[in-house]
Amino acid sequence: MGSKQLQKVLVIDDEPDIIELLKYNLKKEGYEVKTATDGKKGVEIARDFEPDLILLDIMMPHQDGVETCRQLREVPDLHGTFIIFLTARSEEYSEVAAFDIGADDYITKPIKPRALMSRISALFRRESKKKKDTNKINIGALTIDRTSYTVTIEGEQVTLPKKEFELLYFLAQNPNKVFSRDELLQNIWGSDVYVLARTVDVHIRKVREKIGEGYITTVKGVGYKFDLN
């Protein structure tokens, strides 16, 4: 992602007051901002705008945020885009659904603009730090390319949502090292994002379904490792 002046944010929310509040604060911070009042329109705008970050309400008419997020994660050009859910709902099941579908963060309303801007900055800082690492990993028939957010197995491309990709990439960078769920949460989601430990299990299961069972091993009672043995 480029300098702050070039970073683009799309706000998708059906509440005009929320849109205006976010638009004002984001522009004040130097972001380029576009908005949409429903999920379907948001997906259309995202395809053309290719934002670095999407702020997405969950409860919207016609198409909710979870379905909108699912559609956004299927767009190849948006694989590297951050998605933060905004919602008045704090029930556990909606939080789990948000992260399972590919969200990077989850913030409950009422929105505190300064706190939200801080969370956004933290996401971009972590991304900038990660990009300084080696961009491509080749292990046998598996290639993980962070530049294009692509994974290939024996030349066949496999599509992984952003967090599944980052989890695989992180484990592959540290082969044969066992990481607990808490360590994976810290390294992939960050300390400023609250995520349930079971979210790691769900992401691991989905990665295994796509690349096969032989790469990531469960160490019972401890955590997970990328196995080169």
Q: Which of 148, 150, 67, 62 is nearest to 101 (CA)?
A: 67
| Top-tier CATH class for 136-226 | mainly alpha
Residue carrying structure tokens 């638009």: 23
Burial class of residue 197 in the structure, from the number of CB atoms within 10 Å of its CB (0-12 exposed, 13-18 middle, 19+ buried): exposed
- In our burial notation (b when 16+ CB lie closer than 10 A, e otherwise), range 17-45 reads ebbebbbebbeeeebebbbbbbbeebbeb
Q: Two tokens at 10?
A: 């799309």
* Helix H or strand E encompassing 42: helix 39-49
- The tokens describing 77, both together, are 């050009």
Domains of the chain by residue range? 4-130, 136-226
Written as tens digits, the pLDDT of the chain (229 aa) is 444 446 899 999 999 999 999 999 999 999 999 999 999 999 999 999 999 999 999 888 889 888 999 899 888 888 889 999 988 766 565 666 777 777 888 888 888 898 899 888 887 877 766 555 557 888 888 999 888 888 999 889 998 888 899 999 999 988 999 999 999 988 888 766 666 778 899 999 999 999 998 899 999 989 999 987 6
Task: Indicate the CATH number for domain 4-130.
Answer: 3.40.50.2300
